[in-house]
């Protein structure tokens, strides 16, 4: 059930507990830089203009023993070449080991794809399609923005403290919608959505806000597939970008607000500029409100940003935490998606279970805060389950971390033959298996940190 927009439960500050050791010399720095798209680069992946900036944001943390980083790039997905270069630059400029860096896509579908310079593609497949003659320059622009943001973060590294809060967000809706012809993409208010909004605030020791982390379980797809009335398709950072810009502006442009895409595999913005609608005869069609979709971006961005800001302002950072990063692997059954997939709703579908495969993910601990980072896009219910069962007082679940690998749907989704279940490389039950395995590993991590 959706809660009222301003109704929220705020956990004011991290408190020192016997479960976690803290570092008196914790330091943090943050930076941001625009991906500068020049006119000569167009067209890119069907886009021929730009509505608002695409940004790279970086958070750097150090507890004197471990140095770690979070890189957020406003892209639909991030190819392995970009990820590898970002991690290499962090090692060169800031001394961060590659395994201690996580690179996260904001997952805005309103930005051009970039496969250039990655022989393995963004999800382990073949080199991506030809997306326009400007793609090499676009890829370099992304790298340049990453490098600039890293340098800013390194130069701003200073003694810092951390706090945590939770708000309530009402900008998402479950997108798996029942129709007479089967389940399809739409807006299902009766479906599950995770309305919690975890927020982390990092301040300098003199109280200046350095960074605000916003963990929202929703895809940034307000203007996905939308075009102007003149047929022009404009690139946008969409909901994620509008929300972070709102927060940064309210902090006077000095703080860096980082959107961390949560378990939103089955979650869409509650309002979309280009959307599926159910017709009286049971068929599905799409409706586009064209340029008016950017008004929705502004409105929902302001709504999400306002809630994140209010939570952030009520946090009182007090803790200088220790940092720990672990890379983990669990085995899950795979699923053969076949050569052809239905492109619309279906009333039946045959799943083909394959052999077990490795499922890799990362666990990052910042004091009493646990961050779970996965490539796959989890269903919102699975993300909520991980957070509920985590032994840590504060847990964030991030998807599209260090690449992407399609959906990891919950079991109910397989029963409904949803788009996510049919397009998943993971067999039924994998999501629940991963959730249980992650919580077991979080328990071990929590117990180990208590003995420090």
- pLDDT, block means (10 residues), the chain with 452 residues: 42 38 83 97 94 98 97 96 97 98 96 71 40 82 98 98 97 97 96 98 97 98 96 97 98 95 98 94 94 98 98 96 97 85 91 96 98 98 98 97 96 97 97 98 93 62
In angstroms, the Cα distances linking 35 to 30, 112, 134 are 17, 12, 14
Spatial CA neighbour of 371 closest among 430, 416, 325, 329: 325
User: Which of 134, 112, 137, 110 lies closest to 122 in space, CA to CA?
Assistant: 112
Q: How many residues does the chain have?
A: 452
| CA atoms of 452 and 450, how far apart (whole Å) | 6
Q: How far apart are CA 334 and CA 20, in angstroms?
A: 36
**ω into residue 43 within 30 of 0, thus cis?**
yes
In terms of Cβ atoms closer than 10 Å to its own Cβ (0-12, 13-18, 19+), residue 49 is: middle
Instruction: Using alpha carbons, select from 409, 433, 272 the residue that is nearest to residue 349.
Output: 409
Own/partner contacts of 441-445, CB < 8 Å, gap of 24 or more, are 441/326, 441/328, 441/363, 442/363, 442/370, 442/372, 442/390, 442/391, 442/392, 442/395, 443/391, 445/324, 445/326, 445/363, 445/365, 445/370
Helix (H) or strand (E) holding 328: strand 323-336
Global pTM reads: 0.92
In Å, how far from its chain's centre is CA 38? 26
pLDDT tens per residue, range 30-71: 999 999 999 999 999 999 999 999 999 999 999 999 999 999
| Residue reference for tokens 């060169």 | 92
pLDDT at residue 341, as a whole number: 82
Strands 407-408 and 394-398: unpaired
Q: What is the pLDDT of residue 4?
A: 44
Region of 288 please: left (phi>0), alpha (psi -120 to 50) or beta.
beta
pLDDT the model gives residue 55:
98
DSSP H or E segment with residue 136: helix 135-155
Residue 64's region, left for phi above 0, alpha for psi from -120 to 50, else beta, is left
Q: What pLDDT score was predicted for residue 127?
A: 36
The tokens for 387 are 């957070």
Query: Which residues make Cβ contacts (< 8 Å) with residue 321, sequence separation at least 6?
Result: 14, 20, 22, 23, 26, 63, 162, 366, 367, 368, 369
Helix (H) or strand (E) holding 84: helix 80-94
Measured in degrees and rounded to the nearest 5, phi and psi for residue 258 equal -115, 120
**Under a CB-based contact definition with an 8 Å cutoff, are residues 131 and 154 in contact?**
no
CA dihedral 309, 313, 316, 317 (to 10 degrees): 40
């Amino acid at each position: 059930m959706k809660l009222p927009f301003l109704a929220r439960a705020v956990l004011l500050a991290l408190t020192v507990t016997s479960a976690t050791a803290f570092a008196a010399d914790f330091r943090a720095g943050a930076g941001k830089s625009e991906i500068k798209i020049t006119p000569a680069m167009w067209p890119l992946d069907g886009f021929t203009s730009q509505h608002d900036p695409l940004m790279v944001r970086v958070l750097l943390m150090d507890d004197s023993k471990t140095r770690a980083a979070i890189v957020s790039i406003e892209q639909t997905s991030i190819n392995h070449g970009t990820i590898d270069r970002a991690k290499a630059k962090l090692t060169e400029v800031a001394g961060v080991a590659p395994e201690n860096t996580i690179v996260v896509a904001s997952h805005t579908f309103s930005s051009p794809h970039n496969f250039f310079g990655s022989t393995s593609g963004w999800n382990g497949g073949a080199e991506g399609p030809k997306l326009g003659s400007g793609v090499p320059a676009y890829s370099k622009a992304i790298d340049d923005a990453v490098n600039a943001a890293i340098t800013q973060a390194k130069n701003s590294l200073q003694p810092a403290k951390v706090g945590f809060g939770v708000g309530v967000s009402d900008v998402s809706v479950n997108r798996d919608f029942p129709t007479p012809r089967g389940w399809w993409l739409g807006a299902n208010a009766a479906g599950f959505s995770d309305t919690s909004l975890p927020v982390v605030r990092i301040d300098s020791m003199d109280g200046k806000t350095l960074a605000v982390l916003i963990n929202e379980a929703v895809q940034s797809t307000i203007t996905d597939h939308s075009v102007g009335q003149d047929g022009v398709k404009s690139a946008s950072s969409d909901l994620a970008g509008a929300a972070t810009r709102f927060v940064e502006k309210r902090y006077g442009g000095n703080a860096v607000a980082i959107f961390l895409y949560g378990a939103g595999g089955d979650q869409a913005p509650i309002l979309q500029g280009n959307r599926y609608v159910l017709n009286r005869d049971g068929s599905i069609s799409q409706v586009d409100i064209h340029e008016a979709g950017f008004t929705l971006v502004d409105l929902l961005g302001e709504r999400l940003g306002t809630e994140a800001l209010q939570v952030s302002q009520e946090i009182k950072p007090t803790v200088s935490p220790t940092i720990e990063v672990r890379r983990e692997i669990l085995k899950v059954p795979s699923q053969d998606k076949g050569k052809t997939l239905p492109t619309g709703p279906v009333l039946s579908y045959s799943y083909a279970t394959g052999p077990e495969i490795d499922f890799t993910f990362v666990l990052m601990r910042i004091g009493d805060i646990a961050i779970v980072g996965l490539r796959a896009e989890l269903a919102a219910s699975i993300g909520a389950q991980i957070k509920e069962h985590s032994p840590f007082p504060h847990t964030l679940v991030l998807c599209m971390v260090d690449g992407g690998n399609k959906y990891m749907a919950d079991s109910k989704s397989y029963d409904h033959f949803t788009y996510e279940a049919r397009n998943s490389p993971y067999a039924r039950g994998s999501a629940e298996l991963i959730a249980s395995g992650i919580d077991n590993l979080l328990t071990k991590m929590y117990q180990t940190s208590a003995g420090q």
